[in-house]
Amino acid sequence: MEKLLVANRGEIAVRVMRTAREMGLQTVAVYSEIDRDAMHVRLADEAYLLGPASPSQSYLNVERILEIANRSDARYVHPGYGFLAENAAFARAVSEAGCTWIGPHPDAIDAMGDKMRARQAMIAAGVPVVPGGTEEIRDVEAAKAAAKQYGLPLALKASGGGGGKGLKVAYSVDELGAALSTAKRESEAYFKNGAIYAERYLENPKHIELQILADKYGTVLHVGERDCSLQRRHQKLWEETPPSVSFRVREGIREAGIRAAKAIGYDSAGTIEWLVSGEDFYFLEMNTRIQVEHTVTEMVSGLDLVREQIRSAAGEPLGYNQDAIAFRGHSIEGRINAEDPANEFRPAPGTVTTYREPGGLGVRIDSAAFPGFTIGSEYDSMIAKLVVWAPDRTQALARFRRALDEYVIEGVPTTLHLLRQLCDHPPVMDATYTTSTLETFANSVMVSLSNHPEQRAVGTPVEGRPEEVSVEVNNKLYHVRVFDRRNRAAAARKPRRAARNERASAASGNDVVSPMHGVVVEIPVTEGAMVTEGQVVAVVEAMKMMNEIRAHKSGTISRVHAQPGDTVESNSALVTVD
C-alpha cells in the first residue's frame, strides 16, 4: 500500500490523514519532541521524531523530513499549510528525492511567493492590482515618494510574506519611518527576506478569496468565493461562503482568477485573494496551498479539496468541467484560538483541561485537541475550526450560535465568546462587515470583557469565578451558582483593568516583563535611554505572532536584561525603567 507523509502538525495534519485513509493510503506522521502525544501522531500508521520543539529543528528541517520520507518509503509528501507549504525549494527537494509533491509545481510557487514578482505577473496578465509599486522600498525617502505617488494611508508590505506578517500601515508621512522599520523587522524575522514594497492601503474593503482547482493538463476551475474580512492583526477569525458581493464583482473575480492561474500554469488547489471596494476588485496575493478556511468551500460544493490535491499531484485529470461544480447553501467557519480577546488577542499557551465539542446536523469540527492537549508557544494558537452548514445564511448563523453555545474549552482563554458576540453584531448579521469591523468591535467590548472576567473565554476558569453545582429538587434538576462572599469582596477590591494602551505593557515594579514565553526579536532601547509611557521597549515572538512590549511608565532604561535571539519565559524581565 502506498504511503503519504504529512510534513505538518495539528488539525491540518489530521485533516489530510483522514482523506488519505479514505483513498487507501497509509499515513506517516512527523513530530517534534513536545508533539509526541499529539492527535496526528496517534492517528498515523507510522510516526517519526523530527527533533526539538523549535520549528527550525523540527517542522522546518528539510533534511530530516526527506530522510524520514526515504526511511518510511513514502510516495507522497503533503505540506499542509504554513511551515514549508509554500517553499519552492522544499517542493523541488521532495521531487528530487523521488517523492510526489502534493501541491503546485515549484515555478508557480516561486511566481506567487514573492509579492513584487506576483504583482508584475498579474499586471502582465491584465489582472487588476491594488495601486502601488513593484520595486523595493529601501529607505524612508523611497517610502515618502511612494506615499506621494499612491496616496495615504500607505501599506508597507513584506515581499516574501503573507498572513499579515510584515505589513504595516502609515496614515501620515511622520509614521512612514516607524512603519518601514517594523515591516522590515517582521519580514526578516518571519521570512528571512527584508524586502518591502508599497501599495495604497484600502480602508474598510472586503477581503474575498477565490478557490481554484487545476490539473496538469491545462484545466482550471473555480470553486466559488469566501468572505474572509473578519480579521484581527490582518489574520482571519471568521470566514463564510457565499460572500455578500454583487453579481458583477463575483463574475469579475472568477474570470480574472482563472486567467491569473492559467498565466502561471497552476496545477493544484490554490486560493487567490482580492480586496473589494464597492464594485472594484483588486488582486492581493495567491496562496499556493490548501487554506485554513477551505472547509466552508467543501461544505457548499461537496468536493474534498485535499482529495483533489492528491489526484492532481498523481497526474489524474480533474475529469469534470465548471458546470459540474454546484453550490448549495451557506457555510461559516470560526477559528477557535488560544488567545485573549480582552488583551489585544495576545496568544495564551497552556493546557486544555476540559474539551467538549458541539455536534448535530450541519456541524463540522476540524481539530487535533483533546483534554490534556497542550498549546505550546512554539506554534500557532489554533485549537480548532468550528464549521457549520445550513440551507441559507439566516439558518447558518442560528446554527453557528447554537454550536458556539455548546462548545466547552477550559484551561486557556479562547476566542469562543467573541465569536458568539459577533453573531449578534449588526454588520455581521447583515453581512456588511469589512476588514475593520472585527478589531473595532473587539475594542468596544474590551471594557465589558475586562469588567466581567468570567466572560473572557467560554468555560475558562478565572480566579474568583462562582462555582456551579447541580441540585435536584422534587425530581427537577437545577444548576446553581455558588458565590464565595470573601472571593467576591476581594474581586471587587481589585483595581480595574488597564486601558488599551496600558494593556500592551507588562510590568513588575520597575521591570518591564515578557507577558508570555517567546523569543526576543528586538530590544530597540539601550541602557541610559529615556523612554515615555507606552513606548515599545521590546518585541517578543510567540505562537507565530509579534508582540510589542511597551513601557508602563516614563523614565530611564537602567538595565537591559535580554538580547535579540534570547528565549524568555513568562514574567521574565526584559528591561528596567527607573
pLDDT digits (tens, 9 = 90+) for 246-276: 999 999 999 999 999 999 999 999 999 999 9
Beta strands in 363-496 (DSSP E): 363-367, 374-375, 382-390, 408-410, 467-473, 476-482
- Compute φ and ψ for 446, nearest 5 degrees: -60, -40
pLDDT above 80 for 391: yes
Encode pLDDT of 196-221 as tens digits. 999 999 989 999 999 999 999 999 99
Cell, residue 388 = 457549520
**DSSP codes of every residue in 306-323:** HHHHHHHHTT------GG
> Quick one: average pLDDT of 390-394?
98
Q: What pLDDT is attached to residue 189?
A: 75
Q: How far is CA 501 from the centre of its chain?
A: 24
Task: Write phi, then psi, for 312 (nearest 5 degrees).
Answer: -65, -45
Express as a percent the part of the chain with pLDDT over 90: 71
Q: CB neighbours (10 Å) of residue 515?
A: 23
CA 284 to chain CA mean position, Å? 17
Residue 464 · residue 491 · CB < 8 Å: yes
Task: Estimate the share of the chain in helix, then strand, then coil, as percent rounded to the nearest 5.
Answer: 35, 30, 40
543 falls in which pLDDT band (50, 70, 90)?
low
pTM above 0.95, yes or no: no
DSSP-based three-state secondary structure for 255: helix
Degrees to nearest 5, angle at CA 400 with 394 and 402: 105
pLDDT given for residue 498 in this prediction: 37
What is the pLDDT at residue 346?
A: 85
Q: What is the pLDDT of residues 454-482, one digit of tens each?
A: 444 444 443 334 556 777 676 556 667 66
Q: What percent of the chain has pLDDT over 70?
A: 88
Residue 131: how many CA atoms within 13 Å on its side-chain side?
14
CA 562 to chain centroid, in Å, comes to: 28
Q: Which of 102-106, 495-499, 571-575 has the highest mean pLDDT?
A: 102-106
The Cα–Cα gap between 538 and 568 comes to 12
CA angle 454, 456, 461 (to 5 degrees): 50
- Pairing assessment for the beta strands 235-241 and 350-351 based on DSSP bridges: unpaired
- CA distance to 295, 382, 455, 483, 565, per residue, from 462 (Å): 33, 21, 9, 13, 33
Which of 227, 316, 224, 320 minimizes the C-alpha distance to 268? 316
Helix (H) or strand (E) holding 285: strand 280-287
The three-state (H, E, C) secondary structure of 516-563, written as one string: CCEEEEECCCCCCCEECCCCEEEEEEECCEEEEEECCCCEEEEEECCC
Buried b / exposed e over 442-466, threshold 16 CB at 10 Å, is: beebbeebbeebbbbbbbbeeebbe
Three-state secondary structure call for residue 443: helix
Span 102-161, pLDDT tens digits: 999 999 999 998 889 999 999 999 999 999 998 999 999 999 999 999 999 999 999 887
Which domains does the chain possess? 3-102 (3.40.50.20), 131-200 (3.30.1490.20), 205-328 (3.30.470.20), 329-457 (3.30.470.20), 463-497 (no CATH), 500-577 (2.40.50.100)
